[in-house]
Amino acid sequence: MKYLVTGSAGFIGFSLCQRLLENWHEVVGIDNMNSYYDQGLKQSRLDILEQYSHFRFIHLDITDYEKIIVLCTQEDFDRVIHLAAQAGVRYSLKNPFAYADSNLNGHLAILEGCRKAKIKHLVYASSSAVYGMTDQTPFNQNIPTDHPVSLYAATKKSNELMAHSYSYLYQLPTTGLRFFSVYGPWGRPDMALFKFTKAILANEPIDIYNNGNLSRDFTFIDDIVEGVIRISDIIPPMNLKNRLPASTSSSEYYRLYNIGNGQPVQLIDFIAVLESLLGKQAIKNFLPMQPGDVYTTCADTEDFFSVTGYRPQVSIEKGVKAFVEWYQSYYELVSNL
C-alpha cells in the first residue's frame, strides 16, 4: 500500500517508516526538521530511510495547510499515519504557541487534507497525557479526560475532538492512539531514558522528580509500531458498536485506543535497570513534583487487544538493553566522524 507518514524523521515516525519499508510498502514521509532537539539525530534517521527506493521525503511543515491539502489530493494514499506534533510536557510551559501551531493547526490541516482526498483511514497519535491526574487505574478510554494538567495534554485531547467532528460530519474514518511512555533505540533526547543514559555515562547528576515516587507505563517502540500497523488495517466502521464503550465509538467512523504495557514501573526501578546495564550508579538529584507531571500512568488495552489480537510484549530489561546498545553504538560512530 501507499502510506503518508507525518513526522517521519521523528522517533516513532522513523521506526514506523522503516518497518513499512521493510514490508515493501511505498512511503511518503514529511517532516519540518525543526530544532526542538538535535537535528543531526533526525538527519541520521532520515539517511537510513532514504536508502530505500520506495521511500520519498518531503521537507514540509504540517501547518502549511495549502501544501498539505495539495499533497493529500494529488497522491493516492491508502493510509495516512499522522505522528507529527510538538512534543514534550515541560516545553509547553515555556513555548505554548508552538503547541497551538503544530498540534492544533497542523492537525486540522491533516484532517482537511484527508477529507478532501477521501482517505480510507487516518490514524493519528494521541497521548496518555489526556488522562491527567485521574486516580482511576488502569486508564480506560471510557473514563473522563476533561481535566488535562498541561497544554500538551490539552492539545492532544483537542486532536481527538477534532477528529471526532470530521468522522461524524464527513464520514472520515479516524483512529486515535493514546501512546504510553514510548522508549527505545533512536529515541528523543528530551525523554527520560535518553537523558539518564547521557548523564550517567558523563558522571553528571540526573533529576528525579517527586523524589522518585512516580511510575510510568513504559512501552517499547517495536510494540508501538506493531500496534500502529495492525490498527491501520482495521478501518471504522466495524461491527463492534455493542462491545466498545460509548466514548470510543460515539461515531461509527471514529475509534480511540490505548497502546501501553499495562504494567507501570516505578521510576526508581527503571533507573536501577539502566544502572545495571551501564555498570554505573547514577548521581541522583531528587526534586519536587513538576508542573504538568502526573504521578502514574497505566494503560487498559483490552479494547485494543480485542480488535488486533496484540499486546505489547517487550520487557523493561530487554527494551532498556536495546536502547543502551543503540546509544553506545550511535554515539561512538558520531564521535568518530
The catalytic residues are 152
Give the amino acid at 305.
F
Residue entry with cell 505522528: 83
> What is the rounded distance in angstroms from the CA atom of residue 199 to the CA atom of residue 329?
17
From the CB of residue 7, how many other CB atoms can be counted at a distance below 10 Å? Answer: 26
- In a 10 Å sphere around its CB, with 0-12 CB exposed, 13-18 middle and 19+ buried, how is residue 57 labelled? middle
Residue entry with cell 504538568: 292
> What is the rounded distance in angstroms from the CA atom of residue 6 to the CA atom of residue 252?
25
Residue 189: helix, strand or coil by DSSP?
A: coil
**What spatial distance separates the first Cα and last Cα of the chain, rounded to whole Å?**
37
> What is the rounded distance in angstroms from the CA atom of residue 290 to the CA atom of residue 299?
22
* Best CA proximity match to 151, nearest among 109, 91, 107: 91
